[in-house]
Structure 1
Amino acid sequence: MIARLLSALLAAGCTAASAEPAPEADVLSIGGSVTEIVAALGQGHRLRARDSTSTWPPEVADLPDVGYMRALSPEGVLSVGPDLILSEDGAGPPEALDVIRAADVAFVTVPDAVTTDGILRKIEIVGAALGVPDRAAALSDAVATDLADAMADAARPDAQRKRVLFVLSTQGGRITASGTGTAADALIRMAGATNAVTEFEGYKQISDEAVGRAAPDVILMMDRGGDHGAADDELFAMPAIRLTPAAADRASVRLDGLLMLGFGPRTAEAVRRLNAALYDEGA
């Protein structure tokens, strides 16, 4: 099906390179942080559809959902008739993107970010694509100031920084955790804590022994339940975790996944909320 659709589009001479979004173009936003940026720029009224990771602001729930950003179908994406597609890097699968890019629709990729500068670059790219660079500049200034203030408030000496283990999944009784170079790692450090796992990059399944060596003071998880957010009784009964300092204190923190890992306009809020939860300073 994908191959036939791609052949038909190519035969018709439709290319993404020739497509230019019209003023006030209808937008399909793929990726939660991109959707947040569109809304923060005051352009939410232009959103025609969104992907399933786009859950903020709440009103986007009323928009058509084209599916999970890493499992898109060309038919689903193109059926909503966007003039402009704004997509976080990492959308896919690649063969689906080939078909989508071959259609007569402007397609802009927004790079991932785990730093302040990266967030500001995302805002700049989305603002330029939407034709509102002045609004993007103003939003960037506000986000940069707010995030700098939040990080300054969260800062503390190394000796006082709690060791935090971000657990992505407990599927099958095995811990998948964050190493370095991830959004979770970056947020933990911004919030005045230390990532308990630094032996590898990315998210990986780790052994019970590795969890013990990490000796986390706090377990950090997303709040969506299931394998991604086991309840405390289940979490602290796991052999990998039950002998850690976190288990001794039943110390766990759960935050909204998009707020924590999206690295969009609300990242300063994520820093403040995580810092408050870690150091008992109120949410």
Structure 2
Amino acid sequence: MKYRWILLLCTAVTALSACNVGADKKNKEQLPDSIKIVSLNGTVSEIVAGLGMEKNIVGTDITSNYPESLKSKPKIGHNRRINAEGVLSLQPNIVVGIAKEVSPQLAAQFRSSGIRLILFNQDFTVQGTKDLIRAVGDSLKHTVKVDSLTKVFETELATAQKSINNPKKPKVLFIYARGTGTMMVGGTGTPVEKVIELAGGTNAITEFAEYKPLTSESLVKANPDVILLFEDGLESLGGADGLLGVQGISQTNAGKNKRFVTMNGELLTSFGPRLGQAVTELAGKIK
């Protein structure tokens, strides 16, 4: 009887060891090197590239411009207006994107064609960015560089925030412009507002959420110290002189002092691995 129990114990230990080996193999499993990925979002594309899988990207949306080499990848439309046929023509194995940007109809097209569709939720916070990096790495079974990419992200952001010394907390008004015919101001709860706050400023608009058309009354009431635009947004208005010609601008502190600053739109709003760089750049411009 004693020897029988010893035999049973040895058998159990052997079985448990075999299970652990199987689990280890599963955890270390990676996608084939030949896998082809299409990314429908610039932030996701940047993370995929940062994880060492840029060679697997065969197509992207038009917001995928970092790293610079992604600009040469075939483009399949804007992340909210994706050309399904263009994606399918690239014969990807996997399509990745942000859940709220992909319509149910588009998702159904991809899945019915046999393509694996992986959609992520994006929370525009520091923790949300770290969670997104982890989620992309886990979903693509490419976790080797997740920790190092997250560490660089944390270090850059911490360095940026340590360097901010702006007790005045200037009021910053963000204007989304596509010529004078399309001008919106950013209210509360936008990604831009969160970057402004991380950079040591405050949002000049507190009366409403998201975006509303710009009016001279709202400009004068907000009276921002600084007006922030995308680089191409200011260009669409004809530069600083064109912005000054917009009714109400010259009556604000920003207009009187010509405190107009611009940033690359994708860097400012992406909440990706370069968030620390975005905070550093904006903090330097609004101080």
- Do the structures match in fold with TM over 0.5? yes
Judge conservation of contact 1:165–1:196 (CA < 8 Å) in 2.
yes
Moved more, 166-175 or 234-243: 166-175
Name the SS of the counterpart of 2:101 in structure 1.
Answer: coil
**SS, match of residue 249 in structure 2:** coil
Aligned to 2:120: 110
- The alpha-carbon distance between structure 1 residues 154 and 103, as it changes in their structure 2 partners (threshold 3 A), is farther
Distance in 2 between residues matched to 1:145 and 1:243, nearest whole Å: 40
Q: How many Å separate the matches in 2 of 1:103 and 1:203?
A: 37
Q: In the superposition, relative to structure 1, how do residues 112 and 132 fare at CA in structure 2: closer, same or farther (>3 Å)? A: same
Partner of 2:185: 177
Shift of 1:140: 1.2
- The Cα offsets for residues 180-236 of structure 1, whole Å up to 9 and x where unpaired, read as 111100110011111101111112213211111111111101112478665100101
**Larger gyration radius, structure 1 or structure 2:** 2
Q: How far does residue 94 in structure 1 lie from its aligned partner after superposition?
A: 3.7
2:3 counterpart residue number: none
Aligned length: 257
State the shift of 1:137 in Å.
2.0
Check whether the contact 1:66–1:77 (CA below 8 A) recurs between aligned residues. Answer: yes
2:200 is equivalent to residue 192 of structure 1: yes
**Separation (CA, whole Å) in 2 of partners of 1:66 and 1:118:** 26
Q: Tell me the C-alpha RMSD between the 2 structures.
A: 1.9
Q: Which runs of 4+ in 1 moved over 6 A?
A: none
Structure 1 residues 106 and 42, CA gap change in structure 2 (3 angstroms): same
What is the percent sequence identity of the aligned residues? 31
Q: Please give the alpha-carbon distance, in whole angstroms, between the structure 1 residues aligned to 2:104 and 2:234.
A: 29
- 1:74 paired residue among 73, 84, 106: 84
**Partners of 1:164 and 1:194 within 8 A in 2:** yes
Partner of 1:126: 136
The corresponding residue for 2:41 is 31
Is 2:212 the partner of 1:209?
A: no
Task: Answer yes or no: is the 8 Å Cα contact 2:180–2:237 preserved in 1.
Answer: no
Q: Is the helix fraction higher in 1 or 2?
A: 2
Residue 277 of structure 2: SS of its match in structure 1? helix
Q: 1:156 to 1:256 in 2, by over 3 A?
A: same
Aligned to 2:95: 85
TM, length-normalised to structure 2: 0.84
Shift of 1:74: 1.8
Structure 2 SS opposite 1:234: helix
Q: TM-score, normalised by structure 1?
A: 0.85
1:90 shift after superposition: 3.0
Alignment CA distance shift 1:23-1:52 (3 Å)? same
Q: Distance in 2 between matches of 1:156 and 1:225?
A: 26
